[in-house]
Amino acid sequence: MSAAASARLILTRLHEVMATRMHAQGKLDRVVDIVGESLDSEVCSIYLLREGMLELFATRGLNKSAVHVTRMAIGEGLTGVIADNIETLNLAEAKAHPDFQYRPETGEDKYHSFAGVPIVYRERAVGVLCVQHVEPRRYEDVEIEALQTTAMVLSELIANAELIDEEQARGLSAEQTGTQTVTGLTLVKGLALGQAVYHQPRITIDQVVADDIEAERQRVYRAFDKMREQIDNMANQAEFGIGGEHEEVIATYKMFAYDEGWSRRINEAIDSGLTAEAAIERVQQRTRMRMREIDDPLLADRMHDMEDLANRLLRIVSGQLGTAAQQGLPRDSILIARNLGPAELLEYDRRRLKGVILEEGSLTSHVVIVARAMGLPVLGRARGIRGIVRDGDEILLDATQATATVRPSQQVSDAFADRFAKSREKQAAYAQLRDVEPFTRCGTRIQVMMNAGLRDDISALAMTGADGVGLFRTEFQFLVSATLPQRERQTRLYRDVIEAAGDKPVIFRTVDIGGDKAVPYLQSEEAEHDENPAMGWRALRLALEREGLLKVQARSLLEAAAGHDLYVMFPMVSEPWEFDAAKHVFEDQLAYMRKNKKLVPDSIRYGAMLEVPALAEVLDLMLPRVNFLSVGTNDLTQFLFAADRANPKLAERYDWLSHSILRFLRRVSQGMVGHDVDLGVCGEMGGRRLEALALLGIGFRRLSITPAAVGPIKELVRKVDIGELSKLMTDLLANPEADIRSELKAWADEHEIETD
């Protein structure tokens, strides 16, 4: 019998049982028999949530006397783990799993293999369905799918028979009434205040088993057509994008929407007897499962895009149309979602949406890039948020501190409102500094530039009055793209950026991909085996070997800057020859363009990032080669301290205001004296007040920082006297015992310089 036919047989039998007038317990008893027989498993059991515990409700194969006796807490034993993580387990040897717990009353000691799936109701696990087998073997995919289908049927039964406490199913425990604080991960900094709105009004699947398979198939076909039409429309709307990156996002959507494999799997699920909705949901469950197994954050992001589309399809097919975006947002909303697709976020009314909280989400995901462009604070990895928040609850979102306070007390609300008002006042005050040039008290002009990576970021140049873009991270375009960005696309982006910047300079850094910023289309044997990706085959190392990549980028930049001044900077230069080789690629392209009478840039200035400490030791060799140097303190610090910048355990361990870093940087700045080479800092360090003071005090005159820091740093510059600051830093660095941070803070307080 084919897999679909056997799956259909189980469904038909389950359907018959569900249609009888038997009481719920009787139905559960029948279900364990049907599943056990069909999967050829000695044991099949159903656990359901009762009073917060998973209770054995029905079993075939285990001791009947254990029914309604054996109980496990959520998170306890294999069943508890399945319910807790809402995930499927498939184990050839159950006892080998670290969470295995033996319950003598069940008599399960002779069984080796174990597979279990969660029974999900309203996105919460309300039970577990599992099978056990004497022979140690992993269950086949089709068998796991049969279990998942059965679990769906069971959740329908459970809801109708009120087998579980409704309040409990919705999690309306104490957790859902009092004030709660949820912590997560800062994805986009900022404060927001508003009422909770769920992105997706919950879609309920009313019927799991199909009455007419052909009719279900037609429903899915129609839904696919409609979804593809929607995606094509998005792609065609010229005004859709707020930047070129979204074209890439839509390209990814399109790729999935037309993916034959996906529609085929849904079709197969329909063949097994499911309704269209249940089939889509089942395939989606499988996608989620795969997603959990994938460790690569970029691939996982792609899977999120996929899930975004599956949700769209489900809404179309069920007629339960409309996300909160389509239904219209109330004023001041905080959007809550498990995850969100970038296109979905773009559908929201920007005036009403104030912030976003995601249960998942990662820094490199498309949606975060879009949110930043929309100016929305985003809190990610807010685990359990959906179990705590109800529609309409008041939320104070502090994405900067990575927390959200749900149903705050009056006192907390008042304090937050104060902070919020102050931060807005400050923003307004900084905006007034926009046209003020950052001269120090002693009359030194400091260059305050900003970092960017998207076309839209350039609008911040005018808003902040920054002196230019000191670091344009060109790899952003590569990271959000499903395929290698072609030359035309790169040229278009660079040209737009140069034009939007007007007469302000933009320093384009050539791609810094590879290592942990891996892109799937550039996989290589070497990269896959990188054990220390930050020190691995990345940035210029990769670009010089994939010469085509750098060539295309060089050509795009040269073409885009025709008639303008071009600034090019190479990342991770570790030895002078690497700089020479990279420059050579540009010069070759330039010669070719000249020969072919193409328009070329008016001037080209080449620079290197100083982020590998070795380069500082050969500064004398570098200086005659470059027009400018920019210190990347993010990487430099991780290499100086041998401390992975992405490791949260080390995040607070070493201080930028340490003697070692500051001595190092001072040596670099002193080494520049007498050379006609510009020196700047473009790492995060320069955007923090005390750190900026230290940098000014040891000779740095150019800082490129995040746009939000431009106002605060300009304000600071106007309050300092370089002579005083240099003396302070000289004294502090001469005294190895000095606590530079606290001394600088005291100095700043004395000079009424804000430090936060």
Footprint of Mg ion (CB under 5 A): 611, 632, 635
Q: How many residues does the chain have?
A: 756
- Figure out which of the listed residues 108, 216, 344, 635 binds ligand PEP, where binding follows CB under 6 A: 635
Which stretch in 166-174, 353-361, 631-639, 744-752 sits in contact with ligand PEP by CB under 6 A?
631-639
Which stretch in 158-166, 270-278, 373-381, 627-635 sits in contact with ligand PEP by CB under 6 A?
627-635
The candidate with the shortest Cα–Cα distance to 205, out of 101, 95, 317, 309, is 317
Nearest-angstrom CA–CA distance, 4 and 682: 58
Is residue 156 involved in binding ligand PEP (CB under 6 A)?
Answer: no
For the bound state, the minimum distance from the C-beta of residue 533 to ligand PEP, rounded and expressed in Å, comes to: 12
Nearest-angstrom CA–CA distance, 652 and 633: 15
Tokens of 363: 């820094």
- Figure out which of the listed residues 338, 381, 473, 541 binds ligand PEP, where binding follows CB under 6 A: 473
Nearest-angstrom CA–CA distance, 723 and 696: 10
If binding means CB under 6 A, how many residues of this protein chain bind ligand PEP?
10
Residue nearest Mg ion, CB atom distance: 635
The candidate with the shortest Cα–Cα distance to 396, out of 416, 379, 369, is 416
- Figure out which of the listed residues 17, 633, 668, 744 binds ligand PEP, where binding follows CB under 6 A: 633
For the bound state, the minimum distance from the C-beta of residue 298 to ligand PEP, rounded and expressed in Å, comes to: 16
**467-506 in b/e burial notation, b at 16+ Cβ within 10 A?**
bbbbbbbbbbbbbbbbeebeeebbbbbbbbbbebbeebbb
Which stretch in 117-125, 177-185, 555-563, 629-637 sits in contact with ligand PEP by CB under 6 A?
629-637
| Contact between residue 253 and residue 234 where contact means Cβ atoms under 8 Å apart | yes
Tokens of 24: 């719920």
User: Other C-beta atoms within 10 Å of 618: how many?
Assistant: 12
Nearest-angstrom CA–CA distance, 100 and 130: 14
Three-state SS for 425?
helix
Considering the complex, state which of residue 118 and residue 632 has its C-beta at the smaller distance from Mg ion: 632
Considering the complex, state which of residue 198 and residue 641 has its C-beta at the smaller distance from Mg ion: 641
Measured between its terminal Cα atoms, the distance across the chain in Å is 70
Considering the complex, state which of residue 344 and residue 467 has its C-beta at the smaller distance from ligand PEP: 467
Q: Indicate the residue type of 215.
A: A
Is residue 338 involved in binding ligand PEP (CB under 6 A)?
Answer: no
Is residue 683 involved in binding ligand PEP (CB under 6 A)?
Answer: yes
Residues 413-472 that bind ligand PEP (CB under 6 A): 471
Tokens of 661: 């870093």
Choose the contact partner of 683 out of ligand PEP, Mg ion, none; CB within 5 to 8 A by kind.
ligand PEP
Nearest-angstrom CA–CA distance, 387 and 383: 9
For the bound state, the minimum distance from the C-beta of residue 509 to ligand PEP, rounded and expressed in Å, comes to: 8
Residues 582-621 that bind ligand PEP (CB under 6 A): 611
Choose the contact partner of 179 out of ligand PEP, Mg ion, none; CB within 5 to 8 A by kind.
none
For the bound state, the minimum distance from the C-beta of residue 636 to ligand PEP, rounded and expressed in Å, comes to: 6
Residue nearest ligand PEP, CB atom distance: 632
Nearest-angstrom CA–CA distance, 541 and 578: 8
The candidate with the shortest Cα–Cα distance to 404, out of 329, 332, 335, 481, is 335
For the bound state, the minimum distance from the C-beta of residue 535 to Mg ion, rounded and expressed in Å, comes to: 12
Considering the complex, state which of residue 326 and residue 634 has its C-beta at the smaller distance from ligand PEP: 634
What phi and psi values does residue 740 have, to the nearest 5 degrees?
A: -60, -40
Is residue 634 involved in binding ligand PEP (CB under 6 A)?
Answer: yes
The candidate with the shortest Cα–Cα distance to 743, out of 669, 652, 660, 659, is 659
Tokens 């361990």 — which residue?
A: 653
Considering the complex, state which of residue 397 and residue 703 has its C-beta at the smaller distance from Mg ion: 703
Considering the complex, state which of residue 234 and residue 703 has its C-beta at the smaller distance from ligand PEP: 703
For the bound state, the minimum distance from the C-beta of residue 629 to ligand PEP, rounded and expressed in Å, comes to: 13
Considering the complex, state which of residue 591 and residue 646 has its C-beta at the smaller distance from ligand PEP: 646
Considering the complex, state which of residue 320 and residue 658 has its C-beta at the smaller distance from ligand PEP: 658
Give, in order, the Cα–Cα distances in Å from 72 to each of 118, 122, 222: 14, 21, 44
Is residue 632 involved in binding ligand PEP (CB under 6 A)?
Answer: yes
Taking the mean position of all CA atoms in its chain, how far away is CA 2?
40
Is residue 647 involved in binding ligand PEP (CB under 6 A)?
Answer: no
Is residue 369 involved in binding ligand PEP (CB under 6 A)?
Answer: no
Which stretch in 98-106, 544-552, 590-598, 628-636 sits in contact with ligand PEP by CB under 6 A?
628-636
Query: What DSSP element (H or E) covers 612?
Result: none
512: left (phi over 0), alpha (psi -120 to 50) or beta: beta
For the bound state, the minimum distance from the C-beta of residue 398 to ligand PEP, rounded and expressed in Å, comes to: 24
Choose the contact partner of 337 out of ligand PEP, Mg ion, none; CB within 5 to 8 A by kind.
none
Residues 504-543 that bind ligand PEP (CB under 6 A): 512
The strand ranges marked E within 376-531 are: 378-380, 394-398, 403-406, 447-452, 469-473, 506-509
For the bound state, the minimum distance from the C-beta of residue 372 to ligand PEP, rounded and expressed in Å, comes to: 15
Choose the contact partner of 559 out of ligand PEP, Mg ion, none; CB within 5 to 8 A by kind.
none
For the bound state, the minimum distance from the C-beta of residue 572 to ligand PEP, rounded and expressed in Å, comes to: 8
Considering the complex, state which of residue 70 and residue 451 has its C-beta at the smaller distance from ligand PEP: 451
Considering the complex, state which of residue 285 and residue 633 has its C-beta at the smaller distance from ligand PEP: 633
DSSP assigned state of 517: B
Choose the contact partner of 682 out of Mg ion, ligand PEP, none; CB within 5 to 8 A by kind.
ligand PEP
Alpha-helical runs (H) found in 133-212: 141-161, 166-169
Nearest-angstrom CA–CA distance, 627 and 677: 5
Residues whose CB is less than 8 angstroms from the CB of residue 688 and which lie 6 or more positions away in sequence, other chains included = 656, 709
User: Other C-beta atoms within 10 Å of 580: how many?
Assistant: 12
For the bound state, the minimum distance from the C-beta of residue 512 to Mg ion, rounded and expressed in Å, comes to: 6
For the bound state, the minimum distance from the C-beta of residue 414 to ligand PEP, rounded and expressed in Å, comes to: 38
Chain residues binding ligand PEP by CB under 6 A are: 471, 473, 512, 611, 632-635, 682-683
